[in-house]
Amino acid sequence: MAINEEILKKAKEYRDYTAENLSKMVQTKSYSGQEEEVCRLIKGLCEEAGFDEVYFDGLGSVVGRVGNGPRKIAFDAHIDTVEVGDPSQWKLDPFSGLIKDGLVHGRGSSDQKGGAASMITAGRILKELGYGGEFTVYFTFTVMEEDCDGMCWKYLIEEENFKPDFFVSTEPTSCRIYRGHRGRMEIVARIKGVSSHGSAPERGDSAAYKAAKAALAMEKLNADLQPDDDNFLGKGTIVVSQIDVKGPSQCAVPDQAMLYMDRRLTWGEDADLAISQVKKYMAEAIGESEDSIEVYMPDYTKRGWRNKDYGQELYFPTWKMPEDHVIVTSGVDAYKALYSKDPVVDKWTFSTNAVATTGRHKIPAIGFGPGDEDQAHAPNEINRVEDLEICSAFYAMLPYSLEKKL
């Protein structure tokens, strides 16, 4: 039996096993920084699946290994989730993990524990096939992505010197191959006014009115942003997500304003450009010099479940891979070998851990994951059992396809 046929057979055989593992993960609540229980569950599942090695890194992510080849490929799933939101919007218990009518229900089923479940099955398939090829195949189940995407991989690469040759994100892609996504950053702007008594506002210079003008300037900047050269990732965006205005009292003209912004970065845009644009547009809107406005990128620091403090600036670089890159063409070949048809090749709307592996550290990457993007952070989240089976097979097949091209 050809290797693709063996992989398909085993993925089908383990269809229920994959869905049941996903159900167990969904039932195990794992908000960012609170992933210990699900990490221990996943470590046990990898060990039961026969992985050659399974360990926790310093932040608490689970790293599993199959094989011992000279090259490294890493398949990644973050295993933290966002919170539930308004419980009244859920038709089922968000942590039920119910498997019914070909669906797995619950928070994290698509974003992003479905990919994790398929990865475990892929590792089991590779072990049972006796994989001993050119690759050491790593499966990483990473922490704190929802709070700070890519930080877990920044830690692995920069602190633990773990840098694979290729990277596969298993974030939801509806079983399509994704070869890029926009980056993002967070921006703070601080504007000063002059306070006066509220009974005589003409004596002051309101930071609130300046903030309103500055916010509308961001609306204009958003409209003026341009797409990347080949229009693959599309245009960047900016949105004001918070405004805070303060003064000496409620009966005074406010003298301080803060605007917080979410900036999505297309190919060719970076942090310096984005900050300079904010300064320029805000200064023009309020009629002051750019030096009068403080604009900067904030930092993020958090303690993980292993009591390790780690952080970074809130900057997540853009990435995209050429269509003819070996990781993209190998993904296409793997899909065609399994399903005898061409896959859809596209990109994500949101960002992933690849902002660190590929945006920062230039590791060639693709995405391929079960479930749909629009399930992420939504009530009544679901994933298709069929997608789990497809992805299990794809992850097991990809190392074989890559070997043929290298």
Q: Is 1 exposed, middle or buried (0-12, 13-18, 19+ CB in 10 A)?
A: exposed
Residue 158 tokens read as 């920069």
Distance CA 176, CA 365 (A): 14
> Cis ω on the peptide bond leading into residue 112 (within 30° of 0)?
yes
Instruction: Look at the alpha carbons of 139, 143, 147, 151 in this order and tell me if their dihedral is positive or negative.
Output: negative
Distance CA 46, CA 31 (A): 21
So which residues are the catalytic ones?
80, 145
Q: Residue 145: which of 283, 351, 403, 400 has the closest Cα? A: 351
Q: Residue 163: which of 173, 154, 172 has the closest Cα? A: 154
Cβ-proximal residues to 340 (8 Å cutoff; 6+ apart), any chain? none
